[in-house]
Structure 1
Amino acid sequence: MQPSENTGHPRRWAILGVLVISLLVVVLDNTILNVALRTLADPVHGLGASQGELEWSINSYTLVFAGLLFTFGVLGDRAGRRRMLVIGLALFGLASLLSAYAQNPVQLIAARALMGVGGAAIMPATLSIISNVFDPRERGRAIGIWAGAVGLAVAIGPVLGGVLLEHYWWGSVFLINVPVVALGVLLVALLVPESRDPDPGRVDVFGVLLSVVGLVALTYGIIDGGEHGFGRPLVWVSIVGGVAVLAGFVLHERRSSHPSLDVRLFRVPRFAAPVAMIGLVFFAAMGVMFFSSFYLQLVRGYSPLETGLLFLPFAVAQLAFAPRSATMVRRYGARSVSVVGLVLTSVALAAFAFVDAATPIWVVLVAFFLQGVGMANIMPPATESIMSALPREKAGVGSAVSNTIRQVAAALGVAVIGSVLAAGYRSGIEPALAELPPAAGAAAGESIAGAYAAAGQLEPAGPQLVAAANDSFVSAMHLSATLAALVAAAGILVALRWMPGRSTAGGSSPIGEPELAGAAPGQRQ
């Protein structure tokens, strides 16, 4: 029997290249920001941002991004995915300009939130277009290349950020997005075909509001508690209120005739398992990435450029292994590849529980490389499993779910692991603050960056304060890394229990209404 004709678009590989550029601008910005956190905390050369403000500079983007992904996925299905991609790129470029010229941390947080709106329009459109222009037989390879582009951005971002910070002011790390956006808009207009869902859904405005309010309230409580302590009622009102609003969101989605998120999908294991894996891995990995920049630049004394170069092993591993993961899945099955990736990632994150100020730097480089190899063998099979579980015309739903979970998990990872880090640091540094002037003690007690800034004004007591801050930070980092490794390791259990093996890979049909109706109580009319 002859194989059926390839149903992909004639220019599909050129289109994939354009989508990679569009994806680069989103990922590039976040990887550059990781290197810039130390500079943004500097009151002289940056904005003097506190640790909580730094966490919000990351999470204002990710939470808005996550909250609007489903809405923009539906709007793209209805109005046209190419159109939504161009709009998203334009918004992202405008927000980058505003971020570059922010005068204080609050303005930066607001501009980053607008950037999240643009990112939410870009990301689901890229995966939806891939699913529409590629034949299902080539989709796994295309998604592997798409995921490899994340590795490329991770490679470029920290090094580029380091170069910019050493030669220009901190705003240049955002301004660099503008030419990439301009190139992306031009190429999208020239090469990418328009596509729509023949049966688009309706926008669930109330559901979107519930999800954004719930996520922001929950994250605010976690970050504020980590920065100022969990003993205040406001913190728990925010956390409990956020959880309650998110529970209301789930109930609303179950009853809605046009949900932004069909929660019944999560009761189907072949859809829910890869989503859970992505969430656990990004929760753990982004939390570790947040504190590793401070470890390298402060505890180890590396410059922003040197720090960017030290992140290269992670990026190189992503570039080398992500495009090959589809072949590995065909040979060994999604379950085996995912488990190996999760084990490597867990080991790499656990390594940070054992490094200190004197650990040979090659140990850190090996840990970054193992993490890159691990994540390169998790994301492509997980994403392909999610996309293949849905009909081709509903690709926007799959991409939105995948990216929403990733962004929500990343935001919560930065918030939770950052809060554990802040609480551990405060506890460790407290004895060293007793003899300091009140202003210096307050700054040093807030974060390690604050301690370094205070030490510069405290001769001859400065070196002792730096040493105490380093010890406190490393101890807190060990606790945070242990938590991250345990979270990533939980993904191993998910993969072993629910991911398909070699015999079932690619052998199941997309989820249909009968399966959804059987998976959840009741049927939506």
Structure 2
Amino acid sequence: MILAVLCLSVFLVVVDNTIVNVALVTFSRDLGASTSQLQWIVDAYSLVFAGLLLAAGSLGDRRGRKGTMQVGLLLFAATSVLAALSGSAEQLIAARAAMGIGAALIFPATLAILINVFHEPVERAKAIGAWSGVTGLAVALGPLAGGFLLEHFWWGSIFLVNLPIVAIALLAGWKLIPTSRDRHAGRPDPVGIVVSIAMISLLVWTVIEAPDNGWTSTVTLAGFAGAAALLTGFVLWERRRVDPMLDVSVFSNARFSAASLAVATAFFGLFGFIFLVTQYFQVVRGYNTLSAGVHTLPFAVTAAIISPISARLALRFGTKLIVGLGLLSMSAGFLAASFLDGGSSYWTAVVPSMVLMAGGLALTTAPATEAIMGSLPVDKAGVGSAVNDTTREIGGTLGVAVVGSVFSSLYGPQVAAALTKLGVPAEPVGIARESVVAAMEVAKRAPGFARQPILDAASDAFLHGMAAGCRVAGLATLVGAAIAFAALPARAEAVVGDGAALAAAPQPVPAT
């Protein structure tokens, strides 16, 4: 029952990462949101969420994970109402940023509570598998839920739907979840908290803005340099403290650092692909928002089936093998998706690529999460969870930025050249370069004889950019697989922290 409450809470947080994507056209029409404002309606949540994760995990360890999660749920509900009632794009961006604060308080607390409730290795592996499965499921179901709500209700429903879920999680959590905290927490670390927030926020902001500013622009390079300087300062400060917020020496543990990198590369590829495939379904294949969401169900179903058993497979066969094979499977899925076109069979081309990706994601995330959490004492579960969650967010944000940049660098010039060749004037050509959706609008306003050639040119350019983007995602997960096979230990080497068998030796998995 506790696991069900934790999974419900984490589902709420993750689904809000993707549910707004299908509403962007609606926001543009009803709120008059510009392209830049649409980007920040999505990114304000991710930026605040990622920036506060490490600090929120530390707060949960020190003040109590149950209380931290409950406060986060209340804040999430209140800010969801503000988002639903927003009368302008600026108000919605501010509300989405405030929702990120609540999400940061909830997410690391869920995994930290799980680690404190499930101590026996096989049971903990099952629980982490279920938790990881729900996070993957939420990513896939966000567009489906958003599409259904937009099809039947006003756009504010995608935020108000959070309220009954929060009510259930709050009441059930208050009754069921035990209180836990770091029994040996030292003095508060305000310097570490402030520097960690600044470091992660600057890094995520730089990555988000890099495609617009240019990856080699002064602003981007200064942002990366500033984040690196803050990281250096954070490490030096934490190493000096007797009671650090995060014991940075844990990164010297190959099990912890290699698993963190595996999570980052998996979500790099996943979020980069989702950025493309939602447009592929709606623009190239012509699905509406609800139908596009329905057609992602094979991904969700595959993740839901494999995630609960993946951590147990790692106990039996070793983390190295399962995580490495998972990343290889994702890479194969991205490569297969790079050959999709408008006429590709859904069942024999699209579905197999999604199954490879979803299966690979499930095989990667649960065992890698168990490796990260198993490298830390139980009292530090909140910070450990925050590190796991931060790598997901940064990896996913970087994936959207890099894959999006690769896509744009190929799509824009090709569609411009094709439309110019068709005799389209310079102004609509410039509009069409911005996005494939903008190109569709250009086609709608064109004379009847020119519409189909413009649509065909936009579709061809989109598929050209998508192929390259999918191959970049596949290369990232292939590199992640190589690192996992080379650096990730097959088994935990020692028992850590207060005698808690968080990194216990593998035990036989009973037949079920």
TM-score, normalised by the number of residues in structure 1: 0.87
> Which one of the candidate residues 74, 83, 92 is aligned to 1:108?
92
Structure 1 Cα separation of the partners of residues 188 and 429 of structure 2: 50
Partner of 1:492: 481
Structure 2 Cα separation of the partners of residues 272 and 361 of structure 1: 38
Would the alpha carbon gap of residues 318 and 277 (structure 1) be closer, same or farther in structure 2, given more than 3 Å must change? same
Do 2:17 and 2:45's aligned partners in 1 also have CA atoms closer than 8 Å? no
Do 1:28 and 1:153's aligned partners in 2 also have CA atoms closer than 8 Å? yes
Structure 1 Cα separation of the partners of residues 125 and 2 of structure 2: 16
> Which one of the candidate residues 2, 8, 12 is aligned to 1:25?
12
Do 1:66 and 1:404's aligned partners in 2 also have CA atoms closer than 8 Å? yes
Q: Deviations over 1:78-129 (max 9, x none)?
A: 2221111111111111222232333444433332221111111001111111
Q: CA deviation at 1:292?
A: 1.0
Aligned AA (2:373)? M
> Which one of the candidate residues 237, 256, 269 is aligned to 1:271?
256
Identity %: 41
Q: CA deviation at 1:158?
A: 3.0
Would the alpha carbon gap of residues 106 and 437 (structure 1) be closer, same or farther in structure 2, given more than 3 Å must change? farther
Structure 2 Cα separation of the partners of residues 212 and 455 of structure 1: 45
Would the alpha carbon gap of residues 210 and 136 (structure 1) be closer, same or farther in structure 2, given more than 3 Å must change? same
Q: CA deviation at 1:200?
A: 1.9
Do 1:85 and 1:125's aligned partners in 2 also have CA atoms closer than 8 Å? yes
Partner of 2:463: 474
Structure 2 Cα separation of the partners of residues 230 and 73 of structure 1: 31
Residue 391 of structure 1 pairs with residue 377 of structure 2: yes
Aligned AA (1:492)? A
> Which one of the candidate residues 298, 319, 328 is aligned to 1:343?
328
Partner of 2:440: 452
Say which SS state the counterpart of residue 144 (structure 2) adopts: helix
Q: Deviations over 1:321-365 (max 9, x none)?
A: 111113312321111111221111111112222112222222112
Structure 2 Cα separation of the partners of residues 469 and 412 of structure 1: 26
Partner of 1:8: none
Structure 1 Cα separation of the partners of residues 269 and 230 of structure 2: 24
Q: CA RMSD in A?
A: 2.5
Partner of 1:429: 415
Partner of 1:153: 138
Aligned AA (1:453)? E
Q: Deviations over 1:9-30 (max 9, x none)?
A: xxxxx11111111112112222
Do 2:54 and 2:196's aligned partners in 1 also have CA atoms closer than 8 Å? no
Q: What are the within-5 Å matches in structure 2 for residues 113-262 of structure 1? A: 113-137=97-121, 138-154=123-139, 156-227=141-212, 229=214, 233-262=218-247
Say which SS state the counterpart of residue 183 (structure 2) adopts: coil
Do 1:71 and 1:203's aligned partners in 2 also have CA atoms closer than 8 Å? no
> Which one of the candidate residues 65, 80, 92 is aligned to 2:49?
65
Do 1:24 and 1:149's aligned partners in 2 also have CA atoms closer than 8 Å? yes
Partner of 2:502: none
Partner of 2:398: 412
Structure 1 Cα separation of the partners of residues 201 and 458 of structure 2: 30
Partner of 1:379: 365
Aligned AA (1:85)? M
Do 2:272 and 2:473's aligned partners in 1 also have CA atoms closer than 8 Å? yes
Q: CA deviation at 1:480?
A: 1.1
Partner of 2:504: none
Q: CA deviation at 1:494?
A: 1.8
Segment drifting more, 354-363 vs 250-259: 250-259
Do 1:38 and 1:297's aligned partners in 2 also have CA atoms closer than 8 Å? no
Structure 2 Cα separation of the partners of residues 102 and 447 of structure 1: 26
Do 2:47 and 2:205's aligned partners in 1 also have CA atoms closer than 8 Å? no
Structure 1 Cα separation of the partners of residues 264 and 400 of structure 2: 13
Q: What are the within-5 Å matches in structure 2 for residues 494-509 of structure 1? A: 494-501=483-490, 505-509=491-495
Partner of 1:84: 68
> Which one of the candidate residues 347, 353, 364 is aligned to 2:338?
353
Q: Deviations over 1:45-92 (max 9, x none)?
A: 675542x54443333222322221121112112222111111111111
May I ask how many residue pairs the two structures share in their alignment? 493
Q: Deviations over 1:476-508 (max 9, x none)?
A: 11111111111111111122122232xxx3552
Q: What are the within-5 Å matches in structure 2 for residues 309-328 of structure 1? A: 309-328=294-313
Partner of 1:7: none
Say which SS state the counterpart of residue 271 (structure 2) adopts: helix
Segment drifting more, 305-314 vs 95-104: 95-104
Q: Deviations over 1:209-254 (max 9, x none)?
A: 4444444444444444424655754444444444444444444444
> Which one of the candidate residues 270, 282, 285 is aligned to 1:300?
285
Would the alpha carbon gap of residues 222 and 338 (structure 1) be closer, same or farther in structure 2, given more than 3 Å must change? closer
Would the alpha carbon gap of residues 471 and 197 (structure 1) be closer, same or farther in structure 2, given more than 3 Å must change? same
Say which SS state the counterpart of residue 284 (structure 1) adopts: helix
Segment drifting more, 281-290 vs 105-114: 105-114
Structure 2 Cα separation of the partners of residues 66 and 300 of structure 1: 34
> Which one of the candidate residues 415, 425, 428 is aligned to 1:440?
428
Q: CA deviation at 1:452?
A: 1.8
Would the alpha carbon gap of residues 226 and 155 (structure 1) be closer, same or farther in structure 2, given more than 3 Å must change? closer
Q: Deviations over 1:250-293 (max 9, x none)?
A: 44444455544333221111111111100111111111111110
Say which SS state the counterpart of residue 345 (structure 1) adopts: helix
Say which SS state the counterpart of residue 198 (structure 1) adopts: coil
Aligned AA (2:276)? F
Aligned AA (1:328)? L
Aligned AA (2:318)? G
Q: Which runs of 5+ in 1 are unaligned?
A: 1-13, 513-525
Residue 98 of structure 1 pairs with residue 82 of structure 2: yes
Would the alpha carbon gap of residues 71 and 389 (structure 1) be closer, same or farther in structure 2, given more than 3 Å must change? same
Structure 2 Cα separation of the partners of residues 241 and 182 of structure 1: 41
